[in-house]
Amino acid sequence: MKMLKLLALALVVSGSLAAAGPGKKDEKQAVEGAVEKLRKAMIDPTQTSLDAIAADQLSYGHSNGLIEDKSAFMKALLSGDNDFKTIDLSEQSVSIIDNTAMVRHKLMAETNNKGVPGQAKLAVLLVFVKQKGDWRLLARQAVKI
């Protein structure tokens, strides 16, 4: 009898974990998708793609200490002041707490800011918030590595 109760409890617990697992996995994949949308929008920026991925309250921190709001972030990319030719991401981790996600990764990029070729090697922290069903970039901070 005791063994039956333990088996039943184990089945209930494993069923609960299985039910919780896919949702978290789906959300992690959705956040990873948002990171990829951001990466692509930074390489080939459009008003629509940038507006769709960035929260209105965006605080975008560069490795040189410059902090931009959403408007300045979009203007810099659309004007070519910040011009990413390639962006490669590695060592990415995603943590989700309620409607907030933290993403850390290494970013290696080829740039052509204001017509001057260069490279970026950064460690980046991104904070996404889920708004109206979509993950949007709320904050970003980078440091040179």
Question: What CATH number does residue 27 fall under?
Answer: 3.10.450.50
CA distance linking residue 112 with residue 39, whole number of Å: 16
**pLDDT for the residue numbered 22:** 55
Please give the residue range of the domain that contains residue 11.
2-144
| Residue (of 121, 98, 126) closest to 110 by Cα position | 121
Q: Is the pLDDT of residue 11 over 50?
A: no
- How many angstroms separate the CA atoms of 99 and 78, rounded? 29
Neighbour-count burial of 83, counting CB atoms closer than 10 A to its CB (0-12 exposed, 13-18 middle, 19+ buried): buried
Predicted confidence at residue 7, as pLDDT, reads: 37
Q: Specify the pLDDT at position 25.
A: 86
Residue among 139, 135, 140 at smallest CA distance from 98: 135
- Quick check: 20 pLDDT over 90? no
Position 23 scores a pLDDT of 72
- If phi over 0 gives left and psi between -120 and 50 gives alpha, with beta otherwise, what is residue 139? beta
Segment 65-92 mean pLDDT: 97
Task: Using alpha carbons, list the distances in angstroms from residue 109 to 59, 90, 144.
Answer: 21, 11, 12
Number of domains the chain contains: 1
Mean pLDDT of the chain: 88
pLDDT digits (tens, 9 = 90+) for 87-137: 999 999 999 999 999 999 999 999 999 989 999 999 999 999 999 999 999
SS3 133: coil
